[in-house]
Amino acid sequence: MSPTPNPTPHPDDPARRAAAQGDARLDALDAAAVGLLEPLIHATDAEVVGHAPQEAAGAAAAVASWRTGLADALGRLARAALELELVGLGHAVGLLRAHLLGPVRPEDGALELASAEGWVSDAIAFCSGQLPASEAGSLIERLRDWPGMAARVSADLLGPISARLRQDAERIAAATLAAMQPAALEVGADELEMLAEAAGQLDEEFAAALAEADPATPAGQHEAQLADALEAAADAVERFANAVGFIGLEPVAAVLEGLGANLLTLAREPPRFAARHRELLAQLGPAWARLFGAPSPQATAGALALLEDPAWPRPAAPEAIAAARHRFDTLATVGTRRVAAAEEAVDESELSLEIPFDADRGVVENLLRELPALSAELSACIERVGAGSAEAIASAQRIAHTLKGSANTVGVRGIALLTHQLEDLLQLLAPADAALSPELAGVLADAADCVAEMSESVAGLGAPPRQPLEVLRSVRDWTNRLLQQPDAWRAPVPPVIGAEQAAPIVEPVVEPAAEPVEPVVEPVIEPAAEPAEPVSPPPEPGAGADEWLRVPASLIERLLASANEAAILLSQAQEQALEVDRMRATLRMGTDQLQDLAGELERLVDVRGTALGERRARESAHFDALELDEYDDLHMVSRRIAESGADGRLIEQTLGGTVAALRDSLSQLERVQVELREAALQTRTVRVDMVLPRWRRTVRQAVRASGHEASLQVEGESTEIDTQLLQALVEPVAHLLRNAIDHGIESPLQRQALGKPPAGSIVLGFAREGADLVIDCSDDGRGLDLHAVRDRAVALGLLDAGERCDDATLARFVLLPGFSTRARATQLSGRGIGLDVVNQAVREQRGTVDISSTPGEGMRVRLRVPVRMAALPVIVVRSDSHVLALAVREVEQVLSPERFVDDADGTRRFMGTSGPMRLVRLEDALGLPEDAFAPPPGAQPAAPAVLQVRLPGGERVAVLVAEPGQTRNVVVRPLAAFLPPIPGIEGAAVLGDGAVAPVVDLPVLLAAREGARAAPALEAARRALPVCLVVDDSVSVRRTMENFVRDLGFQADSAADGIEALECVARRVPALVLADLEMPRMNGVELVRALREKPATRSVPVVMITSRSSEKHRQLALDAGVDVFLTKPYTEDALASHIARLLERR
């Protein structure tokens, strides 16, 4: 297909004509609309309503003030509208402005203010092109609800002005679109052919769906059939729209999604479906097939015209059609963008997840947004494919095709190659009409999980898959087998054929264990790791931000740092402004005193001058005293002093006005600065559903490993949080899900015996509460076994046998390191490293973990983590020698220190609203002298207060603080890197007066002060963990294996070759060795021989893992003393089973 030239724009095209007006006029209109907010900012309800009757004059003045300000802003908007010939907007603005300049009715102030806020919001959306043309009439219709405006906006004016406003909205949308001028979009000819084929299938799906709706059936049955058919048609349109959007035609996909919405509307109301709709559906498929088969202006116009037909419940908006047409105008066709896949041998380099440096940034961002959702949808379809569902096979094939096209478009070769092979395999499975063999279903599930892990890695949301090459080979082997034996999917045949591709696990002859041992492995845990010997290393989680943000993450960090610095400087400027105002007040006092003295001096001079004048009058009879004033030097000086005093008073008044204006400007600047930093922080936020596929995959794998049945329900998945915080919480939440399935959810038989559904339910909820992110993970399982928890705590020495302890305290024991109620480890738990990991990870984010449980009904774990904010509210505490900023996080109340009680042991407590609380002086918590915050001698006594603080465990503590200041917002700066971490000190803040105050997190400080009474016993339990030595010359393999054995409950040592391994053994003898065969300096066989020669390591089990599968290599290793010989690829479950048997045999 030859490249499609861009058509010449028609001179009468309204979008081109509006674009000719220039960006400057659009910007002026937008700025004038935003300027309408300024008069309303200070017009709060407190100023307009709520005045006492005696303050009616003040209320009237407040209403008049904002009305006048809004009228002036409307004048500027009217001038900007006139520049763009927006007649309807000019009429609406003129009517409102005339009303605002009219008489003021204070009693209508609150209602008018509410009307103004709603109207200004619509006006801003209208002027920015965000208000659809169909809703543009609201600008004039809202005015009729304005107090006193109904008479001005008569019914005769309403219709014509509404019509003009709709024309204005279309003009603004067209001008905005033309001003954007997107760059040309290159699309491969093969991609257009794929879309043309999909459009043809769309026509077939429409016909098949509508054919099922037989008009001859009874009315009710026919409507039900028609509704089902229209829903099926809407699903087909949605899939087609997804395919169109994934290659970069987002505006086209948007209008297609509107078609899907229309079909769903008709499905809900089948009687509205008419013959015209059937005709339109019959024309849609061929028209869009022609468009993608041979793009041209005529084909574009024909296809888009079908979507704006007035027969639809909501025809496509003109601006949406214009956007789609404009996207087609900038379309440029190239030969192909596909990366060819190797036909025979495949190596790691062809599975690279690296994004090419020259990839189109817009397409890359689209790919990164869609990858997690698409891969999750693919996994869901693959689950149904195992049952032989033809619909699921077709859906999975289409999704794999879309993923392949999207990955090829960007150049992510690993995803493109794997989805290409998966698509071929699914194509061969299309005739499948029964359940697939377990082996084939497992290969498909592994491939879907591998695609999901690849997608998360590319998007910077997770680690890359561990063995993608083995997964790809398995998929290709099954494809080859099905090509030779089309019915092979029915039989339980092994998924790997040929000795050269096999993954043998060769074992020496050893004594069998007395009984099967549960493998001590957690296959669900996905530690961060790199693939073995990567050629093109994919981005690590979180490190790929520079690759997919619109701007580099480093630039965002610099922007935040600059905003922080600006906030500090602004605080200092505000403090300086206050100092100037204090100096002005001092100047006024001095000026007043000067004027008083000048008046007294002038009175004395006048008295003296009167006497002197009489004497001079006697001496000169030429002039009368009224005919000529005579002054001496003293009189002149007194007059000049009086005039200087008056001038000083005038200067002071002018200075007062200037300072007031300066303070207003600083207040506005502070608001803008906070908004700027909030906007910068929002660039780092993502939705929670970006990582939901990982958690769903965790649940699926945990269900398979445990034999339990469970479903995951997510609430609040649209919650947006900081990217780094989300990444830090991914693994803790995964631990909670695994714990719920293994510890909480009963087996299906147990649940049925208890009267519960066979499948358990896990609810994962996300919500923002103030400055905190709250995550709830609840299940309907058995709940915590508090008796087992108590017995374990007594066994570890954490409780005395007869000591009383409430349920809440017992529940918190499961958060301690090394604490587990399992007597034996399983694949999922039992090593005491689950909830400890959760608690530690949450505490690193300054969060808390709360546990509540009801026996037989389930358990709920609540994580509360503070989110990153533009400014941190603090309470400043000062003394001559100290200044502190106390963060208000978990400070529930500030109370007056009035009610104290003493326990029987003399402990002083404070009686708060929720009962008695432990009393802690701030000086004691910080380790400062008792008089650290005492006022200096002779100063006014301090006014102390009590802060009610909630600790991580739920306990409330009263903190006595000497004279806390007002709450203010500060920017927290981290402490210098050379300073060691200090519990409870978050960083430092620069106050307005230039003082540097440590920022104190009271809950963390108090928790650190209390200490952990369980530390010695639990540390001993942790030291008892066995050691595993990992020996491999590949850094990525060592990291992967270290994480793997840690998840099994080992401490991990690692070495790059045999010599380093012997040095590690000299330091401490391991309980297990995992070694490679081929390594520099000393290979694996030589290492094993050296270990077998030493008495201390003669009986240490050794597992050798290598890609050498020949009998010669196997025999060489066994002769040297290797216990288990594994060849790659291998499964983690198999390796874990071998490790369990070896350790039990010892």
Pairing of strands 1027-1031, 1072-1075: parallel
Confidence of residue 977 (pLDDT cuts 50, 70, 90): low
> pLDDT of 87-113, one tens digit each?
888 888 888 888 888 887 777 777 888
> Per residue in 911-937, pLDDT tens?
777 778 888 888 888 877 777 777 766
Rounded CA gap, 1145 and 1122, in Å?
Answer: 15
Within 10 A of 535 (CB to CB), how many other CB atoms are there? 12
* Helix, coil or strand: residue 527: coil
Residue (of 502, 578, 8, 586) closest to 297 by Cα position: 8
Structure confidence by residue, pLDDT tens digits, 260-273: 888 888 888 888 88
Q: What is the DSSP letter of 134?
A: G
Bridge partners (DSSP) listed for residue 859: 853
The SS3 call for residue 686 is: strand
709 with 843, same domain: the answer is yes
Place of tokens 């095209």: 13
Distance (Å, whole) CA 951 – CA 774: 16
Could you tell me if residue 393 is inside a domain?
A: yes
- The answer to whether residues 858 and 907 belong to one domain is no
Percent of the chain with pLDDT strictly greater than 70? 78
Amino acid letter for position 984: G
Tell me if 492 sits within 8 A of 437, measured CB to CB.
yes
Residue 531 within a domain: no
Q: Are residues 141 and 213 in the same domain?
A: no
Helix, coil or strand: residue 856: coil
R_g (Cα) of the chain, nearest Å: 39
The b-or-e profile of 849-885 (16+ CB within 10 A means b, else e) is bbbbbeeeebbbbebbbbbebbbbbbbbbbbeeebbb
Q: Out of 238-252, 407-421, 995-1009, which region has the weakest mean confidence (pLDDT)?
A: 995-1009
Specify the range with the lowest mean pLDDT, choosing from 295-299, 618-622, 784-788: 618-622
Q: How far apart are CA 258 and CA 730, in angstroms?
A: 35
For 1080-1113, write each residue's pLDDT tens digit. 889 999 999 999 999 889 999 999 998 887 888 8
Domain count, the chain: 7
User: What confidence tier does 50 reach under pLDDT thresholds 50, 70, 90?
Assistant: very low
Residues 922 and 847 in one domain: no
- Two tokens at 1057? 């070759």
Are 169 and 244 contained in the same domain? Answer: no
Alpha helices in 21-154 (DSSP H): 23-34, 38-41, 45-48, 56-83, 87-100, 109-127, 138-144
340 inside domain: no
Query: Which CATH number is 1103's domain given?
Result: 3.40.50.2300
Q: Which helix (H) or strand (E) holds 347?
A: none
- pLDDT band at 54; cut points 50, 70, 90: very low
Q: Which range of residues forms the domain containing residue 218?
A: 185-334
**What pLDDT, on a 0 to 100 scale, did the predictor assign at position 917?**
84
Among 987, 1011, 1035, give the residue marking a domain's end: 1011
Residue 489's H or E segment, with its range, is: none
Taking a C-beta distance cutoff of 8 angstroms, is the pair 49, 209 a contact? no
* Structure tokens, 851: 């546990």
Cα–Cα nearest to 113, from 121, 124, 57: 121
356 membership: H or E segment, kind and range: none
Q: What is the mean pLDDT of residues 546-567?
A: 65
pLDDT of residue 1053 exceeding 80: yes
Q: How confident is the model at residue 725 (pLDDT cuts 50, 70, 90)?
A: confident
Indicate whether 4 pLDDT > 50. no
Spatial separation of the C-alpha atoms in residues 524 and 741, rounded to whole Å: 11
Assess whether 364 and 472 both reside in one domain: yes
Over residues 934-958, mean pLDDT: 75
CATH number at residue 378: 1.20.120.160
> Is 321:307 a contact under the CB 8 Å cutoff?
yes
Q: Has residue 87 been placed in a domain? A: yes
**Other Cβ atoms closer than 10 A to 960:** 19
Final residue of a structural domain among 501, 526, 541: 501
In a domain, 138, yes or no: yes
Is residue 510 scored above 60 in pLDDT?
Answer: no
- On whether residue 544 sits in a domain, the answer given is no
Give the mean pLDDT of the chain: 76
- Out of 160, 180, 200, a domain closes at 180
Q: How confident is the model at residue 508 (pLDDT cuts 50, 70, 90)?
A: very low
Cβ atoms of 616 and 631 within 8 Å: the answer is no
Cβ neighbours for 158, distance < 8 A, ≥ 6 positions apart: 140, 141, 144
Q: Is residue 828 part of a domain?
A: yes
Task: For residue 963, give the H/E element and its range.
Answer: none
Pairing mode, strands 1102-1106 and 1051-1055: unpaired
Model confidence at 526, pLDDT cuts 50, 70, 90, reads very low
What are 934's two structure tokens? 């005492």
Residues 1006 and 1041 in one domain: no
pLDDT 10s digits, 460-477: 767 788 778 888 888 888
Three-state DSSP state, 251? helix
CATH number at residue 828: 3.30.565.10
Contacts of 575 (CB under 8 A, 6+ apart): 991, 992, 993
The answer to whether the CB of 29 falls within 8 A of the CB of 127 is yes
Same domain, 166 and 193: no
pLDDT of 114? 82
H or E stretch covering 772: strand 772-779
Range 1040-1051 average pLDDT:
76
Is 692 in the same domain as 715? yes
> Which pLDDT belongs to residue 553?
64
pLDDT of residue 2: 36
Q: Which of 41-50, 59-68, 584-593, 900-909 has the lowest mean pLDDT?
A: 41-50
Residues 228 and 323 in one domain: yes
- What would the pLDDT profile of 176-186 be if each residue is shown by its tens digit? 766 655 556 77
Question: Going by C-beta distance under 8 Å and a sequence separation of 6 or more, which residues neighbour residue 657?
Answer: none
CA–CA gap between residue 395 and residue 389 (Å, rounded): 10
Predicted confidence at residue 1065, as pLDDT, reads 92
**Cα 439 to chain centroid, rounded:** 38
- In a domain? residue 818: yes
Residue 892 and residue 855 share a domain: no
The DSSP string of 969-999 is: EE--BPPPTTSPP-TTEEEEEE-TTS-EEEE
Using the predicted structure, report yes or no on whether residue 317 has a pLDDT greater than 80. yes
- The span from the CA of 173 to the CA of 179, in Å, is 10
What pLDDT is attached to residue 335?
45
* Backbone dihedral angles phi then psi of residue 878, each to the nearest 5 degrees: -125, 150
Beta carbons of 609 and 632 less than 8 angstroms apart: yes
Residue 353 shares a structural domain with residue 404: yes
* pLDDT above 80 (res 346): no
pLDDT band per the 50, 70, 90 thresholds, residue 511 = very low
Around Cβ 314, how many Cβ atoms within 10 Å? 12
Residues 6+ apart with CB under 8 A from 422: 400, 444, 447, 448, 451, 475
Q: Whole-angstrom Cα distance, residue 716 to residue 727? A: 17
Distance CA(548)–CA(368), nearest Å, equals 7
